[in-house]
Structure 1
Amino acid sequence: MSPVPPKRIVFPPRAFTVAEARANGVTEKRLRARDLTTPFHGLRLRAGWEDGLPPAMVFEERCRALAQTLPPEAAFSHATAAALHRLPLPTELQNSPLHVTVPRGRRAPHRHGVVGHQATLSPGDVDSRFGFGATTPERTWCDLAAVLALAPLVAIGDRLIHRSLPRTDLARLALAVTNHGSGRGARLLARALPMLDDGSESPMESWQRVIIILAGLPTPVTNYEVFDDRGVFVARVDLAYPALKISMDYEGDHHRTDKKQWRRDIARFRRLKTIGWDAKRYTADDLTAPDEFIADLAASIRARS
């Protein structure tokens, strides 16, 4: 009689713990097989599970896997929560380890690829929309003040309250700042809150606006629509001083590589000049070293006042 072949093991289409596998009769040798990966210590996933998935879904699934090993009151926080909420993180934080916060008195998780935090964490600070705990948009913004500079913090705040798809509003952010008290980043939050604008449509627009305000110049209007004397629409500009007819537009690198966009930009710039606007264009280099563009803008304000 031929020997009975071993029963084929069917693994679930999700992360599972080593303890769960052992309880179902999976051997240590089988857990070390190449068709399984180890996203975190004590967890396994089928190899190739991320194939074809967008990066945001892969990231969320990694969090869902780790959540199986965390206490129920833990919450993903800081840059991890920001990524889950699709907020515009600076490049240096986009591939950071997963951040997890637990209430004070509980042991924070510490393992490869994970940064643990202990903090006061009320039920109102935790958002369960993902199927696991993550800090709310308001609490996330407050936590990020401990690790971000002013401009990127304002950019994230602008995204949170943006009028077309708000994650929260200014009143709730203000309440979160009050509840944050004197914790890390409190002074930066106090500076950032009054700078937020629900009309800003990109992190670079926000960054440019912060530089202008910190230089002591008037706060510009965001995404202003310009019309000529006959009431015909001319252009929508990133930032403007309408009374002075000064506009400012940030030109990202994609404007240069997209020929159609580049031609539209030139035509738009020309139309603004034709009706008497001082139309200014800036790039990332101008924001990294802003002295020249601030001097040029201040001169234009003086000349047109």
Structure 2
Amino acid sequence: MSEIILGGEAVRAGVVTRHELSRWYTTIYRGVYARKGEQLTLRDRATAAWLVTGRKGVIAGVAAAALHGAPWIGADIPIEVAGLKRRPQDGLITRADVLVDDEIVRRCGLPVTSRIRTAFDLGRLLPRAVALARLDSLMWNQAFAIEDVLQLADRHPRLVGVGQLRDLLPLVDGGAASPRESRVRLWLLDCGFPRPETQIPMLDGDRPAFLDMGWRQYKVAVEYDGDHHRKDRAQYVSDIARLRMLEEAGWIVIRVIAEDRPAHWLARTEVALRRRGCPFTVTPMQSFARTLAGAAA
């Protein structure tokens, strides 16, 4: 962890001189500094955000999820601080939300919104697809009770985005192994497909393996191939061998890559499921989602 200091406080305490502060330190937020050349972690930046609030704020949102251990969160995201309002700064978001004691915990020496309050905020304040991906990753790290989040929504029914949160919570699945997998699953659900099971256990030779998502009853799977799969030659060869093994076992595997248009792989998935006898009933809203998929990149 880097040394993070409040400049004025450190000068008054004799920790640094003003000359040393200007020469050897760099500004993170107004009045908060780190030594030049240090590689700042998300925890460092969260500490800086807390200090700039006069040690009165509570780390919230995506930064709080990261401090709770949620994966796939970069160190350079904006840090959200709840419980007070301050002038905006680059990389710092403040919210005046009032928090009660049971919505605050300590993580890494910092006051942080509880896992339940963090889920509550992620689900209501982020764009819908991003919100589900963040909720999935929080659940992937450590399961939380959906019922507890709903109780919190009942406690704060008038806060912004509570309606979206209630719609998303039944869709949360801690089996999504990446934000992109969450997005693939959301397209499936929005377009009227039966809810897929995630992390379906298989055997790859003598080793356990898992399919990203699919329907065991129909032996149809959807696999998202991330960039790391295509750049790693050994991984690529392993994936091809596993695909052949699955096909020999009677599975139809729909492979999705980042460049694929949703409409294309959704159509292949529907053909596969119908071929295996899966019935479809599509609502008007799901038909509209399919229209959106046709236009989405």
TM over 0.5: yes
> Could you tell me how far apart the structure 1 residues matched to 2:161 and 2:181 are?
23
| 2:150 alignment counterpart | 174
Give the total of aligned pairs.
275
Larger Rg: 1
Q: How does 1:212-251 map to 2 (within 5 A)?
A: 212-226=188-202, 236-251=210-225
TM-score (norm 2): 0.80
Offset of 1:142 from its aligned partner?
Answer: 2.1
- The reply to whether residue 138 of structure 1 matches residue 116 of structure 2 is yes
Residues 129-174 of structure 1 show CA distances to partners (whole Å, capped at 9, x for unaligned) of 2212222222222223344233322222222223xx4153333333
| 2:50 alignment counterpart | 67
> Could you tell me how far apart the structure 2 residues matched to 1:227 and 1:102 are?
49
| 1:99 alignment counterpart | 80
- The reply to whether residue 15 of structure 1 matches residue 5 of structure 2 is yes
Q: Secondary structure at the match of 2:182?
A: helix
* 1:234–1:268 Cα contact (<8 Å) kept: no
* 2:197–2:213 Cα contact (<8 Å) kept: yes
Worse-superposed segment, 264-273 or 124-133:
124-133
- The reply to whether residue 112 of structure 1 matches residue 89 of structure 2 is yes
Q: How does 1:264-303 map to 2 (within 5 A)?
A: 264-286=238-260, 289-303=261-275
Which of residues 87, 90, 95 is equivalent to 2:70? 87
* 2:221–2:253 Cα contact (<8 Å) kept: yes
Change beyond 3 A, Cα 1:17–1:111:
farther
Offset of 1:13 from its aligned partner?
Answer: 4.6
Q: Which amino acid aligns with 2:28?
A: P
> Could you tell me how far apart the structure 1 residues matched to 2:225 and 2:191 are?
21
Q: Which has the higher helix share?
A: 2
Q: Secondary structure at the match of 2:89?
A: coil
Identical amino acids, percent of aligned pairs: 29
Q: Which amino acid aligns with 1:76?
A: I
* 1:102–1:118 Cα contact (<8 Å) kept: yes
Q: Which runs of 5+ in 2 are unaligned?
A: 278-297
Offset of 1:22 from its aligned partner?
Answer: 2.8
* 2:106–2:112 Cα contact (<8 Å) kept: yes
Residues 44-75 of structure 1 show CA distances to partners (whole Å, capped at 9, x for unaligned) of 43333x25xxx5xx221232234234245421
| 1:8 alignment counterpart | none
> Could you tell me how far apart the structure 1 residues matched to 2:12 and 2:229 are?
55
Offset of 1:18 from its aligned partner?
Answer: 1.1
> Could you tell me how far apart the structure 1 residues matched to 2:79 and 2:181 are?
28
Offset of 1:234 from its aligned partner?
Answer: 8.5
Change beyond 3 A, Cα 1:255–1:293:
same
> Could you tell me how far apart the structure 2 residues matched to 1:222 and 1:98 are?
31
Residues 81-115 of structure 1 show CA distances to partners (whole Å, capped at 9, x for unaligned) of 23333435688xx7443322125xxxx12253332
* 1:250–1:281 Cα contact (<8 Å) kept: yes
* 2:11–2:18 Cα contact (<8 Å) kept: no
> Could you tell me how far apart the structure 1 residues matched to 2:200 and 2:14 are?
62
> Could you tell me how far apart the structure 1 residues matched to 2:198 and 2:13 are?
59
